[in-house]
Structure 1
Amino acid sequence: MKAKVLAALAATMAVSATCAFAANPFVDVPTDSWAYKSVVELADAGVIQGVDGEYFQGQRNITRYEAAEMVAKAMAHMDKATVEQRALINKLADEYADELNNLGVRVSNLENKVGNVKFTGDARLRYLYQNGVKDNDDSWQYRIRLRGTATINDRTTATLGVTTNNQGFGDNGSAQEDEIAADIIKVDYNFGSPNWMLTLGRDTDWMLGGSNSYGYQYGDTIDLAQLKYNNGKIGVTAAYGKLKEGSGFFAGGLDDADEMVDGVKMAYGEVEGYFGNGSAAGVYYANFNGGDWFGTQTDEGMVWDRFNGDDLWGAYASVNFGSKWNVLANYEHVNLLDGRETITGDDSADVWIGKLTYGKASMAQPKSWDIWVEYIDAEDGAFLGGSTNSWRFGNYMDNMTSWGAGIDYVFAKNAMFSVMQSFATDTKDGETNNDLEKEQTRAQFQFAF
């Protein structure tokens, strides 16, 4: 692997003759070595540092993360490369996209460059079904998203994204009230180092628990200030933000209380560790503020409810076995606001999630696929009503045990088909919830451009 990556990177860096006069930085690379010129050029450009700053160790196989670090540094020199060399760097970036993302380098094999602006987008068509429930308005939904990222300077980028939100084809015409909306309005600043990143503004697909967790509690749009450090081995995140989406599930059975999640403020911290085979583990904490009371008139009188979360902490481990298997375990403990125990009999709740995946579906690799099975055990009150990152209906994520299975298949480059199905779903505590126990099915097409 090392010879292949070094040869490719050396070609991309050979854009001037200055390196020919650089001193040999490594004592174990003789001047008559076939790799001497490439090694010196890459070291002088800062793409490689060697081991202990003195040895190159050319016979040692490098890890994918070490290769990704080299690719990331080569990407920083894109402005010096020719069209052919840029194409080679982009090809390497596609190969190491997952590792680069974990290193904090935002990469997309679908990005189109126009000057200093990159445009990307995606589209989704999905079918949602719950056994015994017929809803022609919401069963078929589509969503289209467009993103533009402008490079302001070598430290700063600005991103604007718009979305149609999930729109239905039924008689009422829409699954969500808003149609076109801005879901990304942010600036990223890297302090001159790829290890540090400051994000200010509105971001989407933000996950409480991090991108390697399940995202049970929240995975959607947030207005935030976030500082993140990531050196490829350790990641530390500190953020303060305001949640912008909700699913309408709360104690007391309120179904129209999205506003109680939209606007809830949150202080957030997370520490993660990354391992050479792509595995990761982390712990995180969130403190909530802003649960306004919400009143609903019922036949029994006025029912008052609110966003019930006080704070939570969680932990996850995502472990790869070989090149095909991944095991994810995720746990969260939620502390509820005072008074919640009068409804559930407890002032806290837990959720345990396990997921086993075989294979890996990559949008850049046609005919790639994966298959997975998951298990969720959520106590009453564990789900706070956020817009979950799970494929399941958000208003049936609480007080239940359930299995799920699915398959993802990339049938063409940038095009994937997925099917998910729940089974053996039961109410965990209290009386049986017939709606919750009706099994869920989802099928969807995803396209990226």
Structure 2
Amino acid sequence: MKAKVLAALAATMAVSATCAFAANPFVDVPTDSWAYKSVVELADAGVIQGVDGEYFQGQRNITRYEAAEMVAKAMAHMDKATVEQRALINKLADEYADELNNLGVRVSNLENKVGNIKFTGDARLRYRYQNGVTDNDNSWDYRIRLRGTAQVNDRTTATVGLSTDNQNFGDNGTASGGDNDVFADIIKVDYNFGSPNWNLSVGRDSDWVIGGANSYGYQYGDVADRAELKFNNGKLGVTAGYAKLKEGLGGYFYGDDDIDGVKAAYGEIEGYFGNGSAAGVYYYNFNGSSDTWVDDNGVGHEFNGDDLWGAYASVNFGSKWNVLANYEHVNTLTNSAVTGDDSADVWVGRLTYGKASMAQPKSWDIWVEYLDAEDGAFLGGSTYGWRFSSYMDNIQSWGAGIDYVIAKNAMFSVMQSFGTEMKDGSQDADQYEKEQTRAQFQFAF
């Protein structure tokens, strides 16, 4: 009975996109098992927990009550399922109706999942410090976010999210970004074309990342208004879209100008392989308001539609190791005195052992990374990474960190840079070469 339920749940759970790099939590499921991918995805989604948190015991028959528990958790993910997947969930719900009713789950026609709103959220308490550079009074901050997702119909979902932004404990509690207001960081509609492979998403997203969710996210990972069409069949992913950035200060070649309002047309092509590995290429063309300035040598510069292209590869070795390599080439500006565009490169490498999953208490990972960014490589302001965005340009640096899930939906993380050196002498090396420290608690609800 376990094989039947597992296969059906694996077919209905739309979690593969978010679990591309999940590690196997069970010591008795070999990587060459027919059920390996389904087991890992379902465990990372919190649908199955195993025995004692370590063993899957695939040869053991499960009780109908245990099967009903897994079906109930799949029902909680109905907002991610297609029409065909909902039909399979309905069949499972009918088969285990008595057990589900004993669990307090209403199963008649499952109509309660259509038109209702599901609320989720998260909270973060963060400490960031860089000796001699950052304001010590503003080293602590917090952020609280609330999300509501409505299943409008079988093909359409609407999501609205609110965020406090990063509120620090200095300067009378004003936000570290200079705005103390709660704001809408998600306002979007997702439409499925009747096939699980095609999806159109229009509106504001809180975690839009240059390079896509599988890359390092060196340039930008923050709020953006965008229209995005995505194809993903589990082996190939193709994304095309147009976005307007909403947050963050510019990099070195933007001076202190805000990049809020800079637009980007983009495309990404990704391939997905066995054991959660992936590789991809991407191209972004930016178009912002014209900006000119004169450098220290008296040479005039003009911001004139930057673009970048990049490539990444994320490879899993066994069930515990992951290697990520990411390269980006940035055409940063047009020099008004010299023909041609200046450009800069950035290399990022990260090695990770383990997998910290918020759904799996006591899970953990540890990682080390290397960053090499030429002068002018950094365009964005708020990155998906953990470093201070003011010191992402013109550096070579190492970093290390650990993530540990204290309890379900509660994780503690520590990050530290080391060996940081400025690549050339055009900026203040005394600031750029001071190391950065970050620690945070994250909670999901």
Kindly state the Cα deviation for residue 305 of structure 1 after the two structures are TM-superposed: 6.9
Aligned amino acid, residue 331 of structure 1: Y
Question: Do the aligned partners of 2:115 and 2:151 also contact (CA within 8 Å) in 1?
Answer: no
**Residue number in structure 1 paired with 2:58:** none
**Residue number in structure 2 paired with 1:331:** 327
Distance 1:246 1:119, change over 3 A: same
Among residues 306, 309, 312, which one is paired with 2:308 in the alignment? Answer: 312
**Residue number in structure 1 paired with 2:253:** 251
Question: Do the aligned partners of 1:119 and 1:149 also contact (CA within 8 Å) in 2?
Answer: yes
1:89 maps onto 2:84 in alignment: no
Distance 1:64 1:238, change over 3 A: farther
Distance 1:332 1:428, change over 3 A: same
**Residue number in structure 2 paired with 1:438:** 434
Aligned amino acid, residue 143 of structure 1: R
CA distance in 2, matches of 1:399, 1:203: 30
**Residue number in structure 2 paired with 1:30:** none
1:14-413 residue pairs with structure 2 within 5 A?
61-65=33-37, 87-89=69-71, 91=73, 116-133=116-133, 135-174=135-174, 175-178=176-179, 179-251=181-253, 254-255=255-256, 257-258=257-258, 261-293=259-291, 310-339=306-335, 347-413=342-408
CA distance in 2, matches of 1:216, 1:165: 20
CA distance in 2, matches of 1:236, 1:165: 31
CA distance in 2, matches of 1:390, 1:305: 29
Kindly state the Cα deviation for residue 246 of structure 1 after the two structures are TM-superposed: 1.6
Structure 1 unmatched ranges of 5 or more:
14-41, 44-59, 76-81, 106-111
Distance 1:138 1:69, change over 3 A: closer
Kindly state the Cα deviation for residue 69 of structure 1 after the two structures are TM-superposed: 9.5
Kindly state the Cα deviation for residue 248 of structure 1 after the two structures are TM-superposed: 3.9
Question: Do the aligned partners of 2:290 and 2:303 also contact (CA within 8 Å) in 1?
Answer: yes
Distance 1:165 1:304, change over 3 A: farther
Question: Do the aligned partners of 2:288 and 2:304 also contact (CA within 8 Å) in 1?
Answer: no
Question: Do the aligned partners of 1:287 and 1:310 also contact (CA within 8 Å) in 2?
Answer: yes
1:277 aligned counterpart, secondary structure: helix
1:251 aligned counterpart, secondary structure: helix
Question: Do the aligned partners of 1:220 and 1:245 also contact (CA within 8 Å) in 2?
Answer: yes
1:149-203 C-alpha deviation (Å, 9 max, x unpaired): 0000010000000000001111342212222000000000010111101001101
Kindly state the Cα deviation for residue 368 of structure 1 after the two structures are TM-superposed: 0.5
CA distance in 1, matches of 2:189, 2:115: 18
Question: Do the aligned partners of 1:5 and 1:67 also contact (CA within 8 Å) in 2?
Answer: no
Among residues 414, 429, 436, which one is paired with 1:419 in the alignment? Answer: 414
Distance 1:151 1:306, change over 3 A: farther
Kindly state the Cα deviation for residue 336 of structure 1 after the two structures are TM-superposed: 2.2
CA distance in 1, matches of 2:252, 2:40: 44
1:256-276 C-alpha deviation (Å, 9 max, x unpaired): x22xx1101100000001112
2:154 aligned counterpart, secondary structure: coil
Question: Do the aligned partners of 1:340 and 1:346 also contact (CA within 8 Å) in 2?
Answer: no
Kindly state the Cα deviation for residue 396 of structure 1 after the two structures are TM-superposed: 0.5
1:434 aligned counterpart, secondary structure: helix
Structure 2 unmatched ranges of 5 or more:
13-31, 48-63, 87-111
Q: So what's the TM-score if we normalise by structure 2?
A: 0.75
Kindly state the Cα deviation for residue 362 of structure 1 after the two structures are TM-superposed: 0.4
- Who wins on radius of gyration, i.e. which is larger? 1
Kindly state the Cα deviation for residue 340 of structure 1 after the two structures are TM-superposed: 7.5
1:337 aligned counterpart, secondary structure: strand
1:71-129 C-alpha deviation (Å, 9 max, x unpaired): 9xxx9xxxxxx99977413546999xxx99xxxx9xxxxxx979621110000000010
Kindly state the Cα deviation for residue 227 of structure 1 after the two structures are TM-superposed: 0.1
| Superposed CA RMSD | 3.7
